[in-house]
């Protein structure tokens, strides 16, 4: 019962004062966090966060969380899955924090040491690998040089490096190293310019990528060897190599030394491979062991941290050596909170906690109990504004009205089936889909509103049956009541006008359910749909607004505001009924009274225009007789009734504007007279009446100031309601406009896309239909379901926020945000490991 009651009106809340012993404060707050029904108030709002009592404990928790985040990043880097058993461990006791800190410190140091050793080994392995490629590639360069010298004569290797008067070959110096492949062109140009062409560069690419030990990325490098003459060029070449971050290695010139070094490098690489493999295995074992428990560790740390954050909001009772807290608690759960406090004190073995209920003038927070079905609708309402405390909640009524108004604009059986299937799939796969955490905001919005989508699809299927519209086509389930004559000229011109007065065409009885399918192929269907959908938009709009006005009386009665009932609710209801409910009744009267056949005075050709009738009603303008048969009046005494209703509506305006300020002024005046009488007697007894007169004058001045504010507020409220009644009624015409637009877009998509394939004959038509159907299906889902659905959703949301809720809903409250581990853990998990 409490759940249903809080759905229609927020829970009754109690402000309580909580006395806790220092020994049991931690365990009691932990139990309250598991319960999730207590909102604590910060009793130290002016105290800096770094000056609060438990700031050191919070810092310790931050440090533990940092270490766990480091472990989690390393685990994810190795692609090790984090085990989620669904376990929800209890918050550890304060003495267990030391054990956790030691464990995390040990894991972090061990992992950092392993990573440091692995990085050093990888750097050594990279250097040896580069040296191996240098020895291999430079052997080719030296073979070319030696071959050139043996052939006698000057070679291209040395001819540019020798002076013109050189008598024979000379000894050249060289530098060998490794550089990133993309830096080779710039490196070569710099060498040529800086050394003025007096160096010779040879380079060869290393085919396989090498791993950077610092970043773990794969990079491509090239081996180079530079020949030069003289120490001056040697220094210049080395400076250029350092500038391009090239790594230089010693390379013997003698072939035997190079072969010996290559064998030594190969042996060391084999040894490093073994050590690296063992290091990686050890690191993997450490991370796999941590991955089994890291989720539980995270949850424990988050709970500890949240408990100390909450304890920092308490006041310290120095005399009793305890803590004092103030909190909001739902009255229906006071006993549950008492039981949680008892469990907390039993765990700590201290004196029981004391919970006292306080009296306050402060407005309590608003708390609506929701489940997975009602939560999405409550979120729509709270997005506009959180309800005032104990104010009537629009959410339960929105469960029906929201998908229904959406379906009026989106009415199509085919599109409704697509939307309902999508919503049903998300509801059916609810548990596995909710278990998959994702940062995709669009998907999270869709999944959070899965029940709204399901209902919108189901209601759209219903209105699609009423409109007899499925992908712009109609079903002839019960047999049409129309029997038009299809002659050649009508078929060629594609003109088929349906006339209810033509008894040869119409059987004079309606289609059993929804609209007759013959209207889909008629030439005047737009005129018919236009009139029908415009009228039902006004009908449902007025009913929706009237329902909102009627809901306001429940607020007035609950908060004991009889003056608002007599001075606001009654004139508002009369104003809306005398004008717009009368307009709705005229629509029904015209539908039922004016029909085809029978008395010619009530034939469709004699039916008066409701719009002209309503305008003349506001202008208080009598009709002239239309002729001997037709009449502009729908019934006898219509002019007198309309004049009476309009006068009543006019009276309601000053009623709303002046009645409440007048009664308040009268009440204040009586109160002032009573205060003057009581104050005068007291002052006379003390020997003077001037003070009483001054006090009475001050009270009167204050009341006049308050009355001015009341008049301004009431004037704004009256103008807003009177003008809003007109504009809001017109606003509901968006139901008509979007419904027509949706139907026309669907028909255009059928005629301009799918019909091309269906009307093409032969084998080519089959292939063309296959391809065009894919295009038509994509455009149907993308445009008519997604884009049009989003448009209809936003318009429906506006009708509820502005046209409906403005009649009774304040929406200026603040939400009840309890201290709950479940919420804290969800927020921490959604924050991601990068924080």
Q: What is the CA radius of gyration of the chain?
A: 43
Across the range 371-376, mean pLDDT stands at: 92
* d(C-alpha 89, C-alpha 86), whole Å: 10
**How far, in whole angstroms, is CA 341 from its chain's centroid?**
36
What pLDDT, on a 0 to 100 scale, did the predictor assign at position 494? Answer: 54
* Residue percentage of the chain with pLDDT more than 90: 45
Residue 82 binned pLDDT confidence (cut-offs 50, 70, 90):
confident
Question: Which three-class secondary structure state does DSSP give residue 592?
Answer: helix
Over 70: is that where the pLDDT of 423 sits? yes
Please check whether residue 380 is in contact with residue 17, taking contact to mean a CB–CB distance below 8 angstroms: no
The answer, yes or no, to whether residue 485 has pLDDT greater than 80, is no
What's the half-sphere exposure (Cβ side, CA atoms, 13 Å) at 669? 6
Q: What is the pLDDT averaged over residues 2-17?
A: 80
Count Cα atoms within 13 angstroms, Cβ side, for 670: 5
Higher pLDDT, 210 or 796: 796
Q: Which of the residue ranges 77-86, 769-778, 792-801 has the most confident prediction, judged by mean pLDDT?
A: 792-801
The residues pairing with 21 across neighbouring beta strands, listed in sequence order, are: 322
In whole angstroms, what is the distance from residue 56 CA to residue 64 CA?
12
pLDDT bin (cut points 50, 70, 90) of residue 628 is low
Residues 524, 536: Cα–Cα separation, whole Å: 19
Strand pairing report for 39-40 and 322-330: antiparallel
- What is the rounded distance in angstroms from the CA atom of residue 453 to the CA atom of residue 457? 6
Lowest mean pLDDT among 546-550, 603-607, 691-695, 767-771: 691-695
Residue with tokens 């803590």: 323
pLDDT of amino acid 780: 92
**Mean pLDDT computed over 213-219:** 83
Does residue 27 carry a pLDDT above 90? yes
Per-residue pLDDT tens for 322-355? 899 999 999 999 999 999 999 999 988 888 889 9
Residue 398's nearest CA partner among 832, 7, 824 is 7
Mean pLDDT of 772-786: 92
Which is nearest to 78 in space by CA: 290, 297, 287? 287
Q: Minimal CA–CA distance to 500: which of 595, 594, 593?
A: 595
Contact 256, 267 (CB under 8 A): no
Q: Is the pLDDT of residue 139 over 80?
A: no
pLDDT of residue 367: 94
Beta strands in 612-734 (DSSP E): none
Tokens of 163: 């002076």
Round to whole Å and give the CA distance between 206 and 640: 102
Q: How confident is the model at residue 688 (pLDDT cuts 50, 70, 90)?
A: very low
pLDDT tens string 715-759: 899 999 999 999 999 999 999 999 999 999 999 998 888 888 777
Give the pLDDT score at 260.
84
Contact 448, 433 (CB under 8 A): no
Of residues 712 and 705, more confidently modeled:
712
User: Has residue 36 got a pLDDT over 60?
Assistant: yes
Find the range with the poorest average confidence among 274-278, 409-413, 637-641, 766-770.
766-770
Cα–Cα distance for residue pair 205/220, rounded to 1 Å? 8
**Considering only 130-144, 281-295, 634-648, which range has the smallest mean pLDDT?**
130-144
* Mean pLDDT lowest among 23-27, 28-32, 521-525, 579-583: 521-525
Assign 591 a pLDDT band (cuts: 50, 70, 90): confident
For residue 205, the cross-strand partners are 222
* pLDDT-wise least confident of 36-45, 145-154, 311-320, 349-358: 145-154
Measured over the CA atoms of residue 283, residue 284, residue 288 and residue 294, the dihedral's sign is positive
Is the Cβ–Cβ distance between 122 and 211 less than 8 Å? yes
The model's confidence at residue 828, banded by pLDDT at 50, 70 and 90, is: confident
pLDDT exceeds 80 at position 30: yes
Among 264, 275, 271, 273, CA closest to 131: 264
- Report pLDDT for 756: 81
The token duo for 99 is: 């054990």
The pLDDT, as a whole number, for residue 593 is 81
**Backbone φ, ψ for residue 92 (5° rounding):** -65, 155
Tell me the mean pLDDT in the region 20-43.
Answer: 93
Query: Who contacts 834 (Cβ-Cβ below 8 Å, separation ≥6)?
Result: none
Helix or strand (DSSP H, E) at 219:
strand 218-219
User: Structure tokens of 78?
Assistant: 């190795």
Given this model, what pLDDT does residue 161 score? 46
What is the tens place of the pLDDT at every residue in 200-212?
A: 888 888 888 888 8
Report angle CA 779, 781, 787 to the nearest 5 degrees: 90
Contact (Cβ atoms closer than 8 angstroms) between residue 351 and residue 24: yes
Q: What is the pLDDT of residue 401?
A: 96
Residue 700 confidence (pLDDT): 47
Copy the structure tokens of residue 121: 């080994």
Q: What is the pLDDT of residue 427?
A: 95
Question: Burial of 358 by CB count in 10 Å (0-12 exposed, 13-18 middle, 19+ buried)?
Answer: exposed
175 in helix, strand or coil? Answer: strand
Identify the three-state secondary structure at position 247.
strand
Q: Which two tokens stand for residue 809?
A: 């809903």
**Residues 370 and 378: beta-carbon distance below 8 Å:** yes
Closest CA to 367 of 684, 822, 816, 831: 816
Mean pLDDT value of segment 459-465: 95
- pTM for this prediction: 0.80
Tokens representing residue 700 in the block:
């009167």
The whole-number average pLDDT for the span 146-175 is 53
CA 637 – CA 617 distance, rounded (Å): 13
| Overall size of the chain counted in residues | 835
Per-position DSSP letters for 304-361, written without gaps between them: HHHHHHHHTTSEEETTTTEEEEEEEEEGGGHHHHHHHHHHHHHHHTSPPPEEEEE---
Q: What are the backbone angles phi and psi of residue 594, rounded to the nearest 5°?
A: -100, 115
| Cα 608 from Cα 615, distance rounded (Å) | 12
C-beta of residue 223 within 8 angstroms of C-beta of residue 207: no
Report helix, strand or coil for 147.
helix
């Amino acid at each position: 019962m409490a759940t249903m009651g809080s759905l229609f009106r927020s829970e009754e809340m109690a402000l309580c004062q909580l006395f806790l012993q220092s020994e049991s404060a931690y365990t009691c707050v932990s139990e309250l966090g598991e319960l999730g029904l207590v909102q604590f108030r910060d009793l130290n709002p002016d105290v800096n966060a770094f000056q609060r009592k438990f700031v050191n404990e919070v810092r310790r928790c931050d440090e533990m969380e940092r270490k766990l985040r480091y472990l989690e990043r390393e685990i994810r880097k190795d692609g090790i899955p984090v085990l989620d058993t669904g376990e929800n461990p209890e918050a550890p006791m304060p003495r267990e924090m030391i054990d956790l800190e030691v464990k995390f410190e040990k894991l972090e140091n061990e992992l950092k040491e392993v990573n440091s050793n692995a990085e050093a080994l990888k750097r050594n392995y990279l250097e040896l690998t580069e040296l191996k490629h240098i020895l291999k590639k430079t052997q080719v360069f030296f073979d070319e040089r030696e071959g050139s010298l043996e052939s006698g004569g000057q070679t291209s290797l040395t001819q540019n490096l020798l002076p013109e008067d050189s008598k024979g070959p000379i000894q050249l110096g060289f530098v060998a190293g490794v550089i990133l492949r993309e830096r080779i062109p710039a490196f070569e140009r710099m060498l040529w310019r800086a050394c003025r062409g007096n160096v010779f560069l040879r380079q060869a690419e290393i085919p396989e990528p090498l791993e950077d030990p610092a970043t773990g990325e794969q990079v491509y490098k090239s081996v180079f060897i530079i020949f030069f003459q003289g120490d001056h060029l040697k220094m210049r070449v080395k400076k250029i190599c350092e500038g391009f971050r090239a790594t230089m290695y010693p390379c013997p010139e003698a072939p035997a030394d190079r072969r010996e070094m290559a064998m030594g490098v190969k042996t060391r690489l084999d040894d490093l491979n073994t050590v690296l493999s063992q290091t990686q295995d050890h690191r993997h074992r450490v991370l796999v062991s941590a991955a089994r428990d890291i989720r539980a560790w995270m949850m424990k740390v988050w709970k500890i941290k949240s408990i100390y954050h909450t304890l920092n909001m308490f006041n310290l009772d120095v005399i009793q050596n305890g803590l004092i807290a103030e909190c909001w608690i739902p009255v229906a759960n006071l006993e549950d909170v008492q039981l949680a406090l008892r469990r907390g004190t039993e765990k700590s073995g201290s004196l029981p906690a004391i919970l006292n209920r306080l009296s306050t003038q402060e407005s309590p927070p608003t708390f609506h109990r929701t489940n997975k079905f009602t939560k999405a609708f409550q979120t729509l309402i709270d997005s506009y504004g959180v309800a005032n405390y104990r104010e009537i909640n629009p959410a339960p009524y929105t469960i029906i009205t929201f998908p229904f108004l959406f379906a009026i604009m989106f009415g199509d059986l085919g599109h409704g089936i697509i939307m309902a299937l999508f919503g049903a799939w998300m509801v059916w796969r609810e548990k596995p889909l909710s278990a998959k955490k994702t940062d995709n905001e669009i998907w999270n919005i869709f999944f959070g509103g899965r029940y709204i989508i399901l209902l919108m699809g189901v209601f759209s299927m219903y209105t699609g049956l009423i409109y007899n519209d499925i992908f712009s086509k109609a079903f002839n389930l019960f047999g049409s009541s129309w029997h038009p004559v299809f002659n050649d000229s009508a078929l060629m011109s594609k003109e088929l006008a349906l006339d209810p007065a033509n008894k040869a065409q119409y059987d004079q009885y309606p289609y059993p359910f929804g609209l007759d399918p013959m209207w889909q192929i008629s030439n005047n269907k737009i005129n018919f749909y236009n009139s029908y959908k415009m009228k039902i938009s006004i009908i449902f709009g007025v009913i929706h607004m009237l329902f909102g006005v009627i809901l306001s009386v429940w607020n007035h009665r609950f908060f004991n505001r009889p003056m608002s009932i007599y001075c606001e609710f009654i004139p508002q209801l009369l104003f809306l009924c005398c004008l717009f409910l009368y307009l709705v009744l005229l629509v029904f009267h015209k539908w039922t009274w004016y029909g085809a056949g029978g008395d010619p005075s009530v034939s469709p050709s004699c039916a008066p225009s409701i719009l002209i009738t309503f305008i003349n009603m506001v202008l208080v303008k009598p009709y002239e007789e239309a002729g001997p048969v037709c009449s502009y009046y729908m019934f006898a005494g219509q002019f007198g009734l309309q004049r009476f209703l309009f006068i009543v509506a006019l009276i309601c305006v000053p009623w709303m504007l002046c009645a409440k300020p007048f009664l308040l002024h009268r009440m204040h005046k009586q109160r002032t007279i009573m205060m003057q009488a009581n104050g005068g007697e007291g002052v006379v007894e003390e020997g003077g009446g001037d003070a009483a007169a001054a006090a009475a004058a001050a009270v009167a001045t204050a009341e006049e100031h308050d009355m001015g504010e009341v008049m301004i507020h009431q004037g704004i409220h009256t103008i807003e309601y009177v003008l809003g009644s007109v504009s809001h009624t017109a606003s509901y015409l968006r139901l008509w406009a979007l419904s027509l637009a949706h139907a026309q877009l669907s028909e255009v998509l059928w005629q301009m896309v799918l019909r091309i394939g269906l009307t093409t004959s032969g084998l080519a038509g089959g292939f063309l239909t296959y391809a065009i159907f894919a295009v038509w299906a994509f455009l149907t889902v993308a445009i008519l379901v997604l884009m049009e659905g989003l448009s209809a959703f936003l318009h429906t949301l506006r009708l509820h926020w502005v046209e409906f809720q403005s009649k009774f809903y304040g929406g200026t409250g603040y939400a009840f945000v309890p201290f709950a581990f479940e919420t804290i853990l969800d927020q921490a998990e959604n924050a991601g490991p990068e924080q």
